Amino acid sequence: VTGTDREPAVHRPLAREPRQGDAFGQMLLQAYADGGAESAESEIVERDDGLVVALPGAAYFAPPDSWSPPVRWAVAQARGRVLDVGVGAGRYALEAQRQGCAVTGLDVSAGALDVSGRCGLGRLRQGSVHDVVEVAGDDRYDTVFMLGQNLALLGSPDAAPHVLRMLHRVTAPGGLLIGDSRDPAVQEAHHRDYFRFNRSRGRWPGHFTIRDRYRDLATPWFDYFFCTPDELIGLSAGTGWEQVGVKTRGATYAVVLRRTD
Ligand SMILES: C[S@@+](CC[C@H](N)C(=O)[O-])C[C@H]1O[C@@H](n2cnc3c(N)ncnc32)[C@H](O)[C@@H]1O
């Protein structure tokens, strides 16, 4: 091989895929070490169309007076035994705990659970919302949180009714499901091509596939599904949940569902 036959290195793609691991948890651990709300760490989110966005890690430590009015309204309705699905650093769980609730944090991320424990959350469970029945065992909850846009952990239009039924199984009669999300119809312009791409592959516009990155780490790809409050009513039909309140601010909304039995 002569020098002229060699492919110029500059044209080569990534030498290898990132290592798979707890990218979000490692980011939170570093943000916590930096002082939480003072940290300059960024959460790096990659979408399957190549979009990469950086979000402030400090937001996961933000105090209640900085939350949007719909989220403050939603968190104030927590009662009894609370399961916070995708607890992160625990900003909402800790507030519910301060309100007198007995809060359990559930997260796939060991690093997130480590941080929420250091921040003062007493009960922690590692696992996915998709395994919530097994993770809960005999425990029943009066309130489930899916906050920080975690209603999107319903995953997809196909998965959402199944996840809602599983959450029904782990709640007590009269239980509440409190979540927040973004209305995909009022998302920023840079999402519009993705909505078209999703329609072209037979998906709902707000059905995202994303992963978190941190340094050379990446989480596995996972589905994160943004739907409107009305679409949520349709998806929750027959799952044992009814919508009893919704508050909107711009593209974001918080919603409260209550068990119908
Ligand atoms: C956007 S953050 C929200 C964190 C927290 N709720 C907050 O708002 O501060 C999403 C969280 O959900 C967790 N997560 C992602 N997929 C999950 C799954 N399938 N089951 C449970 N938690 C998950 C992530 O590790 C992360 O902690």
List pLDDT tens digits, range 116-158. Answer: 999 999 999 999 999 999 999 999 999 999 999 999 999 999 9
Residue nearest to atom 9 of ligand 1 (CA): 60
The yes-or-no verdict on residue 6 having pLDDT over 60 is yes
Pairing status of strand 222-225 against strand 207-214: antiparallel
The values of phi and psi at residue 123, to 5°, are: -110, 125
Check pocket membership of 67 for ligand 1, CB cut-off 6 A.
Answer: no
Within a 13 Å sphere around the CA of 188, how many CA atoms are in the beta-carbon half? 2
Q: What's the pLDDT score for residue 1?
A: 45
Judge contact between 155 and 225, C-beta under 8 A.
Answer: yes
Give the model's confidence band at 187: pLDDT under 50 very low, under 70 low, under 90 confident, else very high: low
Ligand 1 atom nearest to CA at 129: 20
The residue behind tokens 């920023």 is 188
pTM reported for the whole predicted model: 0.95
Structure tokens, 25:
């948890």
Give the model's confidence band at 184: pLDDT under 50 very low, under 70 low, under 90 confident, else very high: confident
Q: What's the pLDDT score for residue 24?
A: 98
Give the model's confidence band at 5: pLDDT under 50 very low, under 70 low, under 90 confident, else very high: low
Give residue 157's Cα distance to chain centre.
16
Give the model's confidence band at 190: pLDDT under 50 very low, under 70 low, under 90 confident, else very high: confident
Pairing status of strand 252-259 against strand 241-249: antiparallel
List pLDDT tens digits, range 10-55. Answer: 666 677 899 999 999 999 999 999 999 999 999 999 999 999 999 9
Give the model's confidence band at 185: pLDDT under 50 very low, under 70 low, under 90 confident, else very high: confident
Check pocket membership of 109 for ligand 1, CB cut-off 6 A.
Answer: yes
Q: What's the pLDDT score for residue 7?
A: 63
